[in-house]
Amino acid sequence: MEKLREIVREGRRVAKEDPRRVVHSFKVGLVLALVSSFYYYQPLYDNFGVNAMWAVMTVVVVFEFSVGATLGKGFNRIAATLFAGGLGIGAHHLASLSGRTGEPILLAIFVFLQAALSTFVRFFPRVKARYDYSLLIFILTFALISVSGFREHQVVVLTHKRISTVIIGGLSCVLVSIFVCPVWAGQDLHSLLASNVEKLSFYLLDFGDKYCEMVEDGDTKEVDKRKKDFGNYKSVLNSKSNEESLANFAKWEPGHGHFRFRHPWKQYLAIGELVRQCAYRIDALNSYLIADIQVSIDIKKKVEEPLRRISLESGKAMKEMSISLKKMIKPSSSDLHVQNAQSACKTLTSLLNSGIFKEAEPLELISLLTAISLLTDIINLTEKILESLHELASAAKFKNKIETPVFAEKPNAKSIVCGRPTKCHDDHVITIVHDDGKNDDTSKKDNLSKEFTIHEKHEDGVTHVHSSCESCGHTSLRVVVERS
C-alpha cells in the first residue's frame, strides 16, 4: 500500500516535471489502438495477413518522445527495410540457383556474412551516432526475408507486404508526432541551452553579494542554505549527453517555429561546451563560497567593489545572452557588460599591484586570489560564449533588437534624448539617463546605478539609446533624431 502510494507520487512528479509526457503517452496509446484495429479487421487482415503485425511493431518501436527521434527512427526503419528487402530477395534468388542441398548452406553463409559485417559497422562512432537503428533493422529484415523458407514468388509478395505495413506504421507515427501536440527536439535543445546559460547567470548575479557577506564561524545553517540556494548550476555540469542526443534528433526535424530545416544545431553544441566549461569554474568557485577557511571581512572589503562588479556584470552578460537565445534576438548589451566586467578586473589587478595585501594571511590570500582567478576565467569564458552566440545569431539570422522605435519628442534639439521613463517588457520602469548626464526623473536618481544605457551616435544624426532594465534584463530602444 505504501509502495503503491509512492509510485503514484513518483508518477505525479514525473508528469509535473514535463506535462508533455502525459500527452505523449496518450498519443502512443491512440496510434497503437488505431493500428491494432487495422490489424484486427478482417478485410484488411485478408489483404496483409500476419504481416499486418509489422505495422503494430513499427509503431511500438518507432514512436519516440520528440518529432526528431521519431522521424529519425521511422526513416531509418523504412530505408533499412527497403534496402534489406531488396538484398534479401537477391540473396534468396542466388541461393535458390545452387539447388536443394546448396541453398540452405549458401543462405546461412549470406546471413552470417551480412550480420557479422553490419554488426562490425555498428561500432563506427559516426554510424553509431546516427544509423545504429538502421543497421539493426537491416540485419533483421535481411535474415527474415532471405531465410523465409518460401519460394521466390512468395518472397517477393512477402517483402512487398512487409514494406507496405512498415511504411503504414512508420507514417502514422510520424504524422501523429508532427501534427498532434508536437515535441520538437530542436526547441528543447534551444530551451535547454538558454536555461543553462540562465542558471549560470543567476549564480553570478548573486555570487558577489554572498561572497562579500560574512558567515559567522560554525553557522552551519547558513552554509546549508547556501549549498541549497547555489546548487542550481550543478545540472549544467552533466548536460553534454543530453545536448548531443537532442542535437542528433533535431537534425531530422523539418522547420518549426523559429527554426528552419538545417538550423545551425552544431553551433548549439559548441556554445554548450563553453557553458559547461564555465560551469566547471563556477563549481570550483562554489567551494570557496561554502569553504571552512573564510577570508576575513577586512580583506574582503578592500576588493569588495570590483569583485561585486565583476560577478554582477558577467552575470548580467549571461542573463542577456539567455534572453537573447530565448527570444532569438541579437545580443546587444552583453558586449558592454563583458567590457565592464573586464574593466573591473583591471581595477582589481591594479589594486593588487598597489600591494594592499602585504599584511594578509597566506591562507586567506590563497583562497581570495583563487576566487579572483576563477572569476577572471569566467569572464574570459563569458566572452567566448558571447562570440559563439554572435556566430549563432548570424548563422541562424536572429532578429535585431529594434522593436518599436520611438522618435524623440523634440526632434529639433541637438543631441537630446527622450527622458520619459519607459516600460520594459515585464513592466519594470526604466529611467533613461540623458546624454548630458542629467536624469529628467530626479525622484528616481537612486535607481541610476541599477541601469545602464548605451548611446550609439550614427552618422546621419540619429542616436540609438539602448536601455536595459536591471530587474528583468529586458532592453528597450529609442531612436533620437538630431537636427542641426
Query: d(Cα 136, Cα 61) in Å, to the nearest integer?
Result: 12
CA 278, 280, 285, 289 dihedral sign is positive
Residues in region 239-268 near a second copy by CB under 8 A = 240-241
Minimum Å gap between C-beta 353 and a second copy is 5
Residues in region 222-241 near a second copy by CB under 8 A = 238, 240-241
Q: Pick between residue 22 and residue 214 the one whose CB is nearest to a second copy.
A: 22
Minimum Å gap between C-beta 210 and a second copy is 20
User: Binding to a second copy by residue 426, rule CB under 8 A?
Assistant: no
Q: Strand, coil or helix: what is 423? A: strand
Query: d(Cα 46, Cα 301) in Å, to the nearest integer?
Result: 85
User: Binding to a second copy by residue 75, rule CB under 8 A?
Assistant: no
Query: d(Cα 478, Cα 405) in Å, to the nearest integer?
Result: 5
Please name which of 273, 347, 270 lies closest in space to residue 308, comparing C-alpha atoms. 347
User: Binding to a second copy by residue 361, rule CB under 8 A?
Assistant: yes
User: Binding to a second copy by residue 364, rule CB under 8 A?
Assistant: no
User: Binding to a second copy by residue 363, rule CB under 8 A?
Assistant: yes
Residue with cell 489502438: 33
User: Binding to a second copy by residue 129, rule CB under 8 A?
Assistant: no
User: Binding to a second copy by residue 366, rule CB under 8 A?
Assistant: yes
Member of 6, 9, 29, 231 binding a second copy (CB under 8 A): 29
Q: Pick between residue 77 and residue 464 the one whose CB is nearest to a second copy.
A: 77
User: Binding to a second copy by residue 143, rule CB under 8 A?
Assistant: yes
479 phi and psi angles, rounded to 5 deg: -110, 125
Stretch that binds a second copy, among 6-14, 67-75, 76-84, 188-196 (CB under 8 A): 6-14
Stretch that binds a second copy, among 172-180, 303-311, 359-367, 422-430 (CB under 8 A): 359-367
Note the maximum CA span of the chain: 101
* Rounded alpha-carbon distances, angstroms, from residue 79 to 86, 141, 170, 389: 11, 11, 11, 36
Stretch that binds a second copy, among 294-302, 308-316, 345-353, 455-463 (CB under 8 A): 345-353
Q: Pick between residue 352 and residue 396 the one whose CB is nearest to a second copy.
A: 352
Minimum Å gap between C-beta 471 and a second copy is 33
Residues in region 405-424 near a second copy by CB under 8 A = none
Minimum Å gap between C-beta 168 and a second copy is 15
458 phi and psi angles, rounded to 5 deg: -95, 160
Q: Could you please report the per-residue DSSP string of 177-246?
A: HHHSS---HHHHHHHHHHHHHHHHHHHHHHHHHHHHSPPPTT-HHHHHHHHHHTTTTHHHHT-HHHHHHH
> How many residues at the interface with a second copy, by CB under 8 A?
81
Cell of 306: 570590483
User: Binding to a second copy by residue 281, rule CB under 8 A?
Assistant: yes
User: Binding to a second copy by residue 30, rule CB under 8 A?
Assistant: yes
Instruction: Judge contact between 333 and 454, C-beta under 8 A.
Output: yes
How many CB atoms neighbour CB 421 within 10 A?
A: 16
Residues in region 184-203 near a second copy by CB under 8 A = none
User: Binding to a second copy by residue 140, rule CB under 8 A?
Assistant: yes
